[in-house]
Amino acid sequence: MEVSVIGNSQAKMVRAELGYRELGLFCSPRSNYQNKISCRRDDSVWFAGRSAMWRKAQLRFTVKAVQSQPVRSDRVSGPASASRPKSRDGVRLFVGLPLDTVSDCRAVNHARAIAAGLKALKLLGVEGVELPVWWGVAEKEAMGKYEWSGYLAVADMVQKVGLKLHVSLCFHASKQPNIPLPKWVSQIGESESSIFYTDRTGQQYKDCLSLAVDDLPVLNGKTPVQVYHEFCESFRSSFMPFMGSTITGISMGLGPDGELRYPSHRKQAKTSKIPGAGEFQCYDKNMLSVLKQHAEESGNPLWGLGGPHDAPSYDESPNSNSFFKDHGGAWESSYADFFLSWYSNQLISHGNRLLALASSTFEDTGVTVYGKVPLMHSWYNTRSHPSELTAGFYNTVNRDGYEAVAEMFVKNSCKMILPGMDLSDEHQPHESLSSPESLLAQIKKTCRKHGVEVSGQNSSDSGAPGGFEQIKKNLWGDDAVDLFTYQRMGAYFFSPEHFPSFAQLVHNLNEPILHSDDLPEQEEVTASVHNNLDTSVHVQAV
């Protein structure tokens, strides 16, 4: 990868030697002081992937940044300020690190590639990176036995490069890459399977614990909330030197894939790209016990026997059964209002417990606490909104199901992360009656009403059609976000088909507002990557 910075009348070549076996980066580091890079001729950065994961990233990048000519005040005579110009609309851009940055064996995977990627992101003008911290890695072997060494190494790498770090605490498992729940939790689940979500056919979802056991002593005498709290306390203690300086944000895992939702769409139709309605997840013995008690207290004990009997299965369309039908569907009945209110309130109570836990643990550390809410946009253009209902959001044509969610975030002084900011209505299958744009607008409007700050993410690691244009629309519109996390670093991220578009997005976000004391001295041979640069990126396969 060759990086040239052309300022005034002469070209300055920037070379950073990022040697890495997996990504094959060969260069020699130069001084990087206060976001400025020393410039020399004939320097280059090479990305030549040799590992399986990075094989597609066999690239040579050429980044040419042309410095524009700002108006110079006659009063300027001192050294250049190290302050960073303000980005357009104040949007801060982060990039997600690979999900398996720290592996099951607690080592840093792709360490040299990640180091190289961090320097490349810094050079582009990205503010920071997001790091998934897995329960199944840090507390793998035994309850209360934590291993933070791999994550501390990553935090140190990020700090040395001069980037910020947003940490996502993941209390769920992952299929790709394979990161399970802690071994000791899975062993408990083998003998006590009711700790997991269960659907009406008895199939269990074992990638996270059921919210119904939050306050039950099912983990060797402790409740999951107690275990999560101790995990957060240990993290705080171990990472305190980074808190508020390098680590500026922490996302609290709230459910499947870290999101506040039920695992209602865990099975997808193999023969169709159209998502089904999903299924209600209320059939483990603890959920049924709570439902039964709630029904008896309401004077309708027969309503506590389970979820709706006339709802479709995971991959079936809403109209394949009677519950979600637009006209005459049971979702508008008194029973449905009872059940959907209870089902949604259980989810919101769960989110409140975990966000309250995180807020109290990390107060006075200088970090902001976040929680992620999903964008269940399929079937949004129906009256019943089945995908949202099965996921736990009682949102229909007659009811704003995000009011209580926003109030819960306000109560805990947390910010909300919304994915799907790369999705547009025109690229959704017509048959799915989907509208990610309308749902996103609704949630943002409700958050604005309640004073909840919203941060954004894209939804597709492989790139949604028209994704970059849609991201720009969401970041620069009247309802702009303050932070956007782009998911996620990997082979595709650095591919010739993708990386130039990402670099252009960064450039557009980093069009700065310069002040006179931000301007470099005429004789300086350094160029700040955050100064007024017109950047173009050329990528060639090696």
Closest CA to 509 of 74, 57, 60, 125: 125
CA-based R_g, the chain, Å: 25
When pLDDT is averaged across residues 282-303 and rounded to a whole number, the result is: 97
When pLDDT is averaged across residues 431-451 and rounded to a whole number, the result is: 96
**The two three-digit tokens of residue 16, written as one number:** 């950073």
Q: Give the bridge partners for 393, in sequence order.
A: none
When pLDDT is averaged across residues 76-92 and rounded to a whole number, the result is: 45
> DSSP characters for 82-98?
-PPPBPGGG-EEEEEPP
Task: Report the alpha-carbon distance of residue 282 to residue 205 in Å, rounded.
Answer: 12
Task: Report the alpha-carbon distance of residue 247 to residue 240 in Å, rounded.
Answer: 9
Residues 6+ apart with CB under 8 A from 399: none
Q: Quote the pLDDT of residue 70.
A: 34
pLDDT tens readout for residues 167-220: 999 999 999 899 999 999 999 999 999 999 999 999 999 999 999 999 999 999
DSSP letter at 100?
A: T
* Kind plus residue range of the DSSP H or E element containing 168: strand 164-170
pLDDT tens readout for residues 14-72: 223 223 333 333 333 333 333 333 333 333 333 333 333 434 444 444 444 433 333 33
DSSP letter at 441?
A: H
Query: 78 falls in which pLDDT band (50, 70, 90)?
Result: very low
Q: How many residues does the chain have?
A: 542
pLDDT tens readout for residues 321-341: 999 999 999 999 999 999 999
Checking if the pLDDT of 134 tops 60, the result is yes
DSSP letter at 338?
A: H
Q: Quote the pLDDT of residue 272.
A: 61
Q: Quote the pLDDT of residue 89.
A: 52
- HEC profile for 187-230? HHHHHCHHHEEECCCCCEEEEEECHHHCCCCCECCECHHHHHHH
533-541 and 59-67: which strand pairing? antiparallel
How many other C-beta atoms are found inside a 10 Å radius of the C-beta of residue 265?
21
Look at 223 and 72; give whichever has higher pLDDT.
223
Q: Quote the pLDDT of residue 107.
A: 87
Look at 8 and 297; give whichever has higher pLDDT.
297
Checking if the pLDDT of 525 tops 70, the result is no
> 369 and 252 in contact (C-beta within 8 Å)?
yes
> 100 and 177 in contact (C-beta within 8 Å)?
yes
Q: Quote the pLDDT of residue 268.
A: 56
When pLDDT is averaged across residues 466-471 and rounded to a whole number, the result is: 90
Q: Average per-residue pLDDT in the chain?
A: 81
**The two three-digit tokens of residue 3, written as one number:** 């990086």
Q: Is 46 helix (H, G, I), strand (E, B) or coil?
A: strand
